[in-house]
Copies of this chain bind each other. A is one copy, B any other.
């Protein structure tokens, strides 16, 4: 297999995902600061951020630097003349003369692909608006594997705004390659789009859509929480009510399913209570650490 661009979770077969996970595992000691690497020495990654995403950017930059690589960074690209004055293709062709790999975050769907089509160096999509965030989905899969030892056979609940979250969409795209059961927990206004259910049907995977978080907790091995954003609601009272019904707390999970794993792409803004931080199954900060290992694996794979 030869990786080139990382643009969409659609591009991966199960064997691709497994390969990335194998590489990520290999790089864990480097991500965990136990070992120093030089595998990417002499390589330069360009971080091009057309909207702020400090967490994702620093995760990629850390991955690069801990393997001996270097980084050139352009944040606030949305205000730069390079952004106003030229096409994404021209920008990519320019950056290609500087860097060995491009990591791009952009508010518009398809922007990473547009860049990838213009250049020969690999392009990694670090989030393209309402589109995809494939490396987030890969680190989520990796985290489940690591926390549970396997993915096949698990029941995984996703909670919150399943309609708008690109993280959820990319995640479902990857999970359909495994023998999992999915539980979607969302209010009517924020249900998972039908196209994703269709994809699961094609794979003959079981899923259910429910609105009760307690029930989901009971049935699931993994509970993936997401934020519910105020601005999605016209009725503010409805928002307040929903927000409160989708809060993961220690009282809830320890009583119902103390062996569950609780995940979140961060930032959390209330949907996981602070008392959860000492809960053994709370994996959200471990996700961050795994993210560095997964990105190390990806950067290493595409630099071969």
Contacts and interface: CB of A to CB of B under 8 A. Distances in A.
Q: How many copies of this protein are present in the complex? A: 3
Interface in A219-243: 227
B62 A72 contact: yes
Nearest to A35: B42
Interface residues of A, number: 49
A31 B75 CA distance: 23
Given A42-B36, A65-B70, A86-B267, A292 B97 contact: yes
Interface string A47-82: 000001111011101100110001011111101111
A85 B269 contact: yes
A179 interface: no
Contacts of A254: none
B269 A86 contact: yes
Nearest to A85: B267
A294 interface: no
A268 interface: yes
Interface stretch (A3-11, A88-96, A209-217): A88-96
Contact of A82 (B31, B55, B93): B55
Contacts of A292: 97-98
Nearest to A285: B93
Contact of A81 (B31, B53, B66, B82): B53
A154 interface: no
A70 B72 CA distance: 11
A93 B285 CA distance: 7
Contacts of A75: 76
Given A44-B62, A61-B98, A62-B98, 18 more contacts: A31-B97, A36-B42, A42-B66, A52-B76, A52-B80, A52-B82, A53-B81, A54-B80, A54-B81, A58-B72, A65-B70, A76-B76, A86-B268, A90-B266, A97-B285, A97-B288, A97-B289, A97-B292
